[in-house]
Structure formats: C-alpha cells, structure tokens
Structure 1
C-alpha cells in the first residue's frame, strides 16, 4: 500500500508527503482540489478531488443552500437566451479579490466542488472544465453552461488577464508556440468515419480547426490530413482534441463546430516549416 505521495501544483512536483500531510495542506489552502496526486496503483496523476481518500475531507465546505438537482437533457433544451438572461442576474461578476464564492461543476452526472471563481478560471485555462460544462452557485436557481454566463465571457477573462495582481496572473499561461492564421482544407477521421473541415490557425504544437461533426469531445484522438495552403505543403498528423467551442442550438451531428487540437506526432521538417511561418507572419 502506498504511504508516500507526490503532488503536482502550479507545474511543480512536491513531496513526498503522507496522506495526512496532503490533507493538512488542502485545509491550509496550500493545495487546491484541482492539483494532482500521483497514485502508484494506477501509475498516473489524478485530481485531488477525485481521490477517494481525500474526497471526505473536502465535503465539510458545502454551500448553505442545497445544490439543485439537474436533468441535463431538460437543461440543454432550455432556450439559451432565456437561460443566460436569468443566470446573468444571479451570477454577478465577482471582484478579482473575491475568494469565498462557492461554485460547483457538473460533468455528466458527477458534481464537483465547491470551487472559488479563480479556481474555475484556472480549470478553464487548464482544460479541466469546458464551455459546455454546467456550473452553479447560490443564489442561482438552476445549473447553467459556462458559455451562458457573463462572468465567464471572453471579455471578463481578458479583463482578468490584464490585471497586475500576481495571484491572478498565475491563472493564465503563456502560449508555448507562436500561431498564425491558416486556411487549409482538411480531412479528419477516427478510424471509423471521415469528416471534411478547414483550419483556422496553426502552430507547431497544434491547430484550431472547424469540421462538420459536433460530437467529438476533448480527450479523443483523430487523424488529420491538412491539404496544401499558405505556403505549407500537405501533411498528416495524429491529434488529440483539447478544446471544443460551445455552439448554441445544435440539432445535428453534422453541425460545424470549432475544435482545438494538439499535435501528438508530427514530422520534424514540417514542424520547422510551421514554426517559420508562425514566427514570420503576424497571427
């Protein structure tokens, strides 16, 4: 049985700690529920909030008002304008120094939380929470998608990113690779079906693409063939879906949706070609 544990917080590996040490650091705020712990039993990093040995210690900080139950199908069918309008008045924009807000996240049938507003922003940046996930906090009457709340709108997040507060700046990462606009036609397949699409931007590490398939989810792997465009020759690359833009009113699996993909394996020469284009052409 594992007695010592390593944790990963803010891109730093810490430890080893006993499980009691980890509990104390959680209680003291030195660790966040969204930090990771390495479990020898699964040979992988797992979110602290998903580790059963720690889950009980995260339960005391529950909201005064019961978290509402939700029928995801009913919520997803509600008129977006009506839902967003009602939620906006209940989820007022928090100040950058607000730390006591208690947000809950609904992913499938599982509820996680409570989290502060900053922790939700951090999870959005780290792709642990997505625009299509549901969130709730008192006094909201129902769960709402992240994309439907003004407090999580791009303008609000950009305003935060421009803050001089060091604590806020830690929430945002700097892009590792330069990007450039890129308008290539492409073909995507997952070993079962094939879809057509186009690229919107590209870097040596990945791309923003739009394709006629609204059903893919972050974590899935697809094979993408980029056709020649903007000075780049055609190339093939295995990719992982890392982001998906929420689109209102989707009623068909063939509705065009924008995805962010990460290149898992790419030819070295092509990588250099993309890097050269991205660093020489303004994005």
Structure 2
C-alpha cells in the first residue's frame, strides 16, 4: 500500500497509509488543514484538497455530504443546486451557480473559500474553478437579460460610502476597540484586531460621533470576514441613525 508523509504543526510525520491517516483524522491527532505530500504533483497540499480523502472529508461534517444531489439535465443547469461551500470547518449548501455569484457580489463568499461539486475529485478554492473566473462572470453579466426570472446580478439595497470612525464592540463577554472602513444604512465594514469573530455571531456596536453621523448603537450580525476585517449587518438600529447614514451615503455617492 502506498504511504504518505504529513506535515502537522510544521513537523513532517509518517509515512502512513491512507487508512492510518483517516484514523488519525478521526481521533483529531491530525487536522484537515494539515498538509500531505502528493507524489503525483510533487507538492504539499491540504488534506482536505487531497482527492483520495475527499469522501472521508465530506463525511466528517456535522451535516455530512453522503449522497450529494445529482446534477439534473434541465434547460437551465445554472439553477440547479450543486455547489457546497466550506466555512469555519462546516459545509453549507447545496447552492446554485446564481446563488454563488450573488454571494460573491455581497462578499459572503470569497475567491479563497473552498467549494465542492460532485464532478470534482477534491475540494478546490473558488479561484481555481474556471466557471467562476472574472472573465466568465463578466461574460455572464454582459449576456444577462434583466427581465428574466431569478436575477443573478442584484442591485445593492443600500448605498455604501467610505466612513472612518472609532467603535466599541461587545460580544457579551469582552469589549474591543475597532475602526470602521465603510458604512451603509444596512451595515458596515470594520477592522478589529486580536479577536476572531465567527460568521453569524451577534455583536453590540457603539459608533462614536463623527462630522457626518451622530453617535449610535446597533445590534449586528457578522456576515463576512477576511483576516481582521469584518462585514456586519445591522439587525437593530434607530430610525434617526439610519436616516443620518442614508443622507451621508447619498451625499458621498
């Protein structure tokens, strides 16, 4: 049986057979973000990207992908939900291509996120999928009929504008200082260091006053993250604050 070397916490271990690696993954001795040396490509790849372990990886989720839905031969295959997304070590989906594009546009899906479909031999970063290349998305946009059902490219509900303000963020346990990058009546972009908030986590945010918008409080939900940058959606915000933000973003536009 073929054996493989694995890099765990920067230390090379092995060689082990795939069955041994699977057992070590199940016992948490190894993690899916560890690296395995692929002798075919002569390169180190993440265990979750290694095709021989894809089936095991799909079964490792709380919501296992055991028998993924078959892609139907329908008139508009882009409406078929066939894509799965990896976020915070959990799988989400299946989603249609249209939904994936909308998530890209709303910045809840990023080029560096891992995605999978039944016809792939392993999980791949979105940037590696040809049909989601910038050229393909641009081509689809130019060929899009705005009157067709199920809009792919939607208009932003709220205008955005650059907005620099100091904030106080509370996660029900601790208080953190933050800075805003942009704002809209529906949410904001923040920079928060030395903390790792999770997607869908609820936060309480105090925006200090600025020349454009008075001080206000908001109950928010994390909808996207990239390093120390977070996108938050306002769940609860006063009508006065929302109106002030709308007037500011309209003027800034």
> TM bucket by the smaller chain?
0.5 to 0.7
**Partner of residue 205 from structure 2, selected from 224, 227, 230:** 224
Mapped contact 1:182–1:229 kept (Cα < 8 A): no
- The 3-state SS of whatever aligns with 2:209 is coil
Aligned to 2:237: 266
Q: In 1, Cα distance between the equivalents of 2:135 and 2:177?
A: 31
RMSD over aligned Cα atoms: 4.0
Quote the Cα distance in structure 2 between the aligned partners of 1:76 and 1:104.
24
1:209 aligns with 2:190: yes
What stretches of structure 1 of length at least 5 have no aligned partner?
1-68, 88-96, 248-255
Deviation at 1:124, TM superposition (A): 4.8
2:122 to 106, 127, 142: 142
Counterpart in the other structure of 1:197 = 178
Whether the aligned pair in 1 keeps the contact of 2:100 and 2:109 (CA below 8 Å) is no
Other structure's SS at 2:32 match:
helix
Separation in 2, partners of 1:164, 1:75: 38
2: CA distance between counterparts of 1:147 and 1:200?
25
Unaligned runs of 5+ in 2: 1-21, 37-43, 50-74
Distance 2:195 2:210 in 1: 25
How many angstroms apart in 2 are the aligned matches of 1:76 and 1:151? 28
Q: CA deviation at 1:200?
A: 1.2
* Structure of higher RCO (CA pairs closer than 8 Å, 6+ residues apart): 1
State the distance in 2 between where 1:76 and 1:158 align: 35
Q: 1:181 to 1:111 in 2, by over 3 A?
A: closer
The Cα of 1:118 is off from its aligned counterpart by 3.2
Q: For residues 186 and 221 of structure 1, what CA distance do their matches in structure 2 show?
A: 16
Matched residue, 2:97: 117
Distance 1:202 1:194 in 2: 21
Alignment correspondent of 2:67: none
Shift of 1:235: 1.8
Q: 1:119 to 1:278 in 2, by over 3 A?
A: closer
Aligned length: 189
- 3-state SS of the aligned residue for 1:276? helix
Deviation, structure 1 residue 240: 1.1
Deviation at 1:214, TM superposition (A): 5.4
Alignment pair present for 1:276 and 2:247: yes
Write the distance in 2 (CA, Å) between the matches of 1:162 and 1:185: 40
Mapped partners of 1:232, 1:153: distance in 2 = 38
Distance of aligned partners of 1:138 and 1:238 in 2 relative to their CA distance in 1, 3 Å threshold:
closer
Give the superposition deviation at 1:233: 2.3
TM-superposed deviation, 1:144: 2.1
Question: In 2 relative to 1, CA 102–266 (structure 1 residues): closer, same or farther, beyond 3 Å?
Answer: closer
**Is contact 1:201–1:209 with CA below 8 Å preserved after alignment?**
yes
> For the structure 1 residues 111 and 201, does the alpha-carbon distance in structure 2 shift closer, same or farther, using more than 3 Å as the test?
closer
Larger Rg, first or second structure (1 or 2): 2
